[in-house]
């Protein structure tokens, strides 16, 4: 009887020890989550400042009785562009929060990847040419290239990478390429821009939730686009990574699983 009591006490001690460990882990997870959301909203405040200033500043200018009709059209255009930029930021942060909470859904379907790439080329080439940049697709696959993944998600990732490439490239070119690799499709967006140096590279794809960039003058931008791309790529069972070009500039790679492969 005494032996059974000792055995029961030992089991109780083990259970208490296990519960304490579980509570400690939960407390650490909660602390990390709280920190990430604090950083997320701090960076959101930093991110929306520019478009919000554009809206408020040019709205104030519109109140003047001395502006011409042409000036008014320019100011209105800036307000509209700033409003669209602000809505896109809010949309991206909302989706990033859903990804972190495991609530973002992707819907795979069969589609021709060539059609998507061609449409992207037609959309972004005028923007690139306006800056004096050449935008082209390398080794575009000529025959029909049907893959099974989420076209909307892939389109969003490539668009973010092209937006950044055009934004940070002052001269030269931007190249988009893609290829089959077993059961994956690998995409590359290469540019002759400024490249990415430390300390930015250390948290390149998680900066928006891991680093409060408004407190660091050494880091430009919040990294919202790349953090969102990272989350979206993972939902497509792939990876995203970056390399600096020896000649200057960046190459962004990302893979997505082709569920129709094999």
Alpha carbon distance 177, 189 (integer Å): 7
Phi, psi angle pair for 244, to nearest 5°: -85, 140
| Residue range 26-85, pLDDT digits in tens | 666 666 565 666 776 777 777 888 889 999 999 999 888 888 889 889 999 999 999 999
Question: Residue ranges per domain, the chain?
Answer: 2-100, 109-257
3-state class of 150 per DSSP?
coil
Cα separations (Å) of 68 from 53, 63, 71, 72, 73?
22, 12, 5, 6, 9
Interatomic CA distance for residues 240 and 94, integer angstroms: 21
- Per-residue DSSP letter, 219: S
Question: Per-residue pLDDT averaged across 86-100, rounded?
Answer: 90
Residues 255 and 239 sit within 8 Å (Cβ to Cβ): yes
Query: What is the Cα–Cα distance from 154 to 232, expressed in whole angstroms?
Result: 8
pLDDT of residue 219: 46
CATH number 1.10.287.130 is the correct assignment for the domain at 2-100:
yes
- Pairing verdict, β 172-181 and 146-149: unpaired
Q: What is the DSSP letter of 102?
A: T
CA atoms 40, 45, 50, 56: torsion sign = positive
Same fold, 2-100 and 109-257: no
Q: Which fold has domain 109-257?
A: Heat Shock Protein 90 (3.30.565)
Q: What is the pTM for the complete model shown? A: 0.79
CB 236 within 8 A of CB 257: yes
Region 173-183: mean pLDDT is: 93
Q: What is d(CA 149, CA 106) in angstroms, rounded to the nearest whole number?
A: 9
What's the confidence (pLDDT) of residue 205? 86
Mean pLDDT to the nearest integer, 80-98: 91
Which two three-digit tokens encode residue 46? 């930093």
């Amino acid at each position: 009887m005494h032996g059974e009591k000792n055995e029961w006490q030992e089991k109780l001690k083990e259970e208490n020890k296990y519960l304490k460990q579980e509570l400690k882990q939960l407390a650490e997870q909660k602390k990390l989550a709280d920190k990430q959301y604090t950083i997320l909203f701090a960076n959101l405040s930093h991110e929306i400042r520019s478009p919000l200033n554009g809206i408020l500043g040019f709205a104030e200018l519109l109140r003047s009785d001395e502006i011409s009709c042409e000036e008014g059209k320019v100011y209105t255009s800036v307000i509209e562009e700033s409003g669209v930029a602000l809505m896109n930021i809010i949309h991206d942060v909302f989706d990033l929060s859903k990804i972190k909470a495991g609530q973002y859904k992707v819907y795979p379907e069969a589609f021709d990847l060539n059609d998507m790439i061609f449409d992207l080329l037609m959309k972004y080439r005028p923007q690139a040419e306006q800056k004096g940049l050449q935008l082209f697709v390398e080794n575009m696959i000529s025959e029909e290239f049907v893959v099974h993944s989420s076209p909307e998600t892939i389109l969003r990732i490539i668009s973010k990478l092209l937006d950044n490439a055009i934004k940070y490239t002052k001269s030269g070119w931007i190249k988009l390429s893609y290829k089959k690799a077993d059961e994956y499709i690998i995409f590359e967006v290469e540019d002759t821009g400024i490249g990415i140096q430390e300390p930015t590279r250390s948290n390149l794809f998680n900066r928006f939730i891991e680093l409060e960039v408004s407190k660091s003058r050494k880091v430009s931008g919040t990294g919202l686009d790349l953090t969102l791309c990272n989350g979206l790529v993972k939902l497509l069972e792939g990876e995203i990574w970056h390399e600096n070009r020896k000649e200057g500039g960046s190459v962004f790679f990302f893979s997505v699983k082709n569920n129709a492969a094999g």
